[in-house]
Chains A and B, each alone.
Chain A
Amino acid sequence: MTRFIPPLVGVLLALFALWYIAVVPMNVQDTLTRAERAGVTVTPPSAVERRDTGALALVFGNTHALGESWSLDRPRLPAPHQVVAELYKSTVDEELNGRRGLARSGSLSTRGLLHHALITLNATALGFLIGTGLGILLAVGIVHSRVMEMSVMPWAIVSQTIPIVALAPMIIVVLYSVGVQGLLPKAVISAYLSFFPVVVGMVKGLRSPDSMQMDLMTTYSASTRDRLMKLRLPASTPYLFASLKIAIAASLVGAIVGELPVQKGGLGARMLAGSYYGQTAQIWAALIMAAALAAVLVWAIGAAERATLKRMGMAQ
């Protein structure tokens, strides 16, 4: 582990440095407009001319007027510290000092990022549970029934090549028109996305016991049920966790995309709102929140995996 940390820190520092540098040409138009209003002479002097000039040419022609690049109100590319400030403002600050924050009202502020992250997390978790449950059931069915395998498996594989997310807005709107709204429609999309990785992984896992082990079950005259419970399911655990990691990430993407068509909260809604109102820092903050959520979820499954496999004596 320590082998990885110094290079990782180095690469991250390099990325942040690049980010700070990239902020200058990305925001140069706005910066120069503000500088001009403040009375600084910039070349070329009119905004129209500047619009037709390349960003790099503007940067090198006006090195004296770039001071505000990292502190614009609505930058095209916010600097890292602006994103961190926005994150702080919409989480800690909003909850502690906001009128509707946790400290004053006892519940998470509807304007804070935590509230939206929680909405997304709920949809993700519900969808993940539904998708994983159905996926395991279908995999068990496929392993035990030849007809089911031959009928369903090719379609399960083909469905992996289809951009399922395209269905998301339709599912939301259709379920909405039937009267189902709130958590469930988003969870349906999440479930749909997490379903197939689990099916494919579990079919592989349930088939992983070799013929020697299956023969042993036969000599014990084990029933199909016993084979499933005592050999196939335990043997499939590593495969299950590998698919669960993919499934939870897919589930989160499903929940976020599911939040786009109906603006009822969640990180996806937050991103879309930010994009409508030009609040770039808000989009970035939501994005980082989503990334943190993904990291925590995948990490949690990894931790569960390590603990389970260790208890089962299967850890490497």
Chain B
Amino acid sequence: MTLILLALLLWAAGWTLNATLANGPARQSRAVHLAVPLIFGITLIAMWELITRGADVPTVILPPPSDIAVTFGNNLPMLWADFVQTILKGALSGYIIGNGAAFLTALLIDRSDYLRRGLLPLGNFMAALPIVGTAPILVMWFGFGWQSKAAVVVLMVYFPMLVNTVAGLSETTGMQRDLMKTYAASWSQTLTALRLPAALPFIFNGLKITTTLALVGAIVAEFFGSPTQGLGFRISTSIGQLDLALVWAAIVTAALAGTAFYGLVSLLEKRATFWHASQRKH
């Protein structure tokens, strides 16, 4: 009981601290912008710990974060193997193939108005469909290895990326294209000098959206069959053994991988599109 009271007190203290920081004199500073969400996150985790221990929540329902951290630390080699299997082999290879194929298709479509008008509505439609549903079919075709996961990821990332790239390629204004025409620029010169740079913000938007989709595809596909490693496999088998701490450790791994993956693409975007309005400092 005291632990639960302590949790409530901690919540009040954390919130008050954040309120004073956020409304205080230093509210525009970088440090405060970093500190406030951190304090909020730490408060939540501390409350989770105190409440699960205070109310004796069975670990098969919700293990305390300290247990999860210990499990994570103890199983690092296994989780690393899962990471390699799911993220590097399944998600990353599918991500590269899918986005590459979508990019090439977009270039192809771009040359033909007929194809653009035919494929674009279809692409928009497909981008809204629950494509994860193809996972059982693809697992049946490509086996339990990483290839089937990569195939699911390819299908999941292809259409959002296609739609974004096509939108990006039509981003230039008539004036700019006319200028290229007066320079007697060929199609490929116009593409590399004008249209691809103009499309970059859209392409990166597609790349960022598809990072999460790639991980979701790779993990869900493992629920339908996988070798004896991989994050999706770990999650589904550990649930069967009611080892919730390990499930959470696998989820933490997936979350860290997802955030790092997204961060990496955003970093690339910052480097590549520093000139774009959305990247400039105000």
Contact = CB atoms under 8 A, between A and B. Distances in A.
> Do A and B originate from a single complex?
yes
B119 interface: yes
B140 A280 contact: yes
A59 B62 CA distance: 55
Interface string B3-20: 000000000000100110
A272 B239 contact: no
Nearest to A257: B220
Given A158-B259, A170-B244, A150 B22 contact: yes
A4 B262 CA distance: 35
A77 B137 CA distance: 9
A304 B242 CA distance: 44
Nearest to A289: B133
A177 B60 contact: yes
A4 B137 CA distance: 31
Contacts of A151: 18, 22, 36-37, 39-40
Interface string A142-163: 0000110111111100101111
Interface in B226-248: 231-232, 235-236, 239, 244, 247-248
Contacts of A160: 212, 262
Contacts, number: 163
Interface residues on B, range: 35 or more
Chain A CB within 10 A, most for which of B23, B139, B220, B254: B220
Contacts of A249: 128-130
A4 B119 CA distance: 9
A119 interface: no
A214 interface: no
Contacts of B125: 295
B219 interface: yes
Contacts of B137: 275, 280, 283-284, 287
Given A3-B117, A150-B18, A150-B36, A166 B231 contact: yes
B129 A294 contact: yes
Interface of A: 3-4, 7-12, 26, 76-77, 146-147, 149-155, 158, 160-167, 169-170, 173-174, 177-178, 245, 249, 252-253, 256-257, 260-261, 267-268, 271-272, 274-275, 278, 280, 283-284, 286-287, 290-291, 294-295, 298
Interface of B: 15, 18-19, 21-23, 27, 32-33, 36-37, 39-41, 60-62, 114-119, 121-122, 125, 128-130, 132-134, 136-137, 139-141, 211-212, 215-216, 219-220, 223-225, 231-232, 235-236, 239, 244, 247-248, 250-251, 254-255, 258-259, 261-263
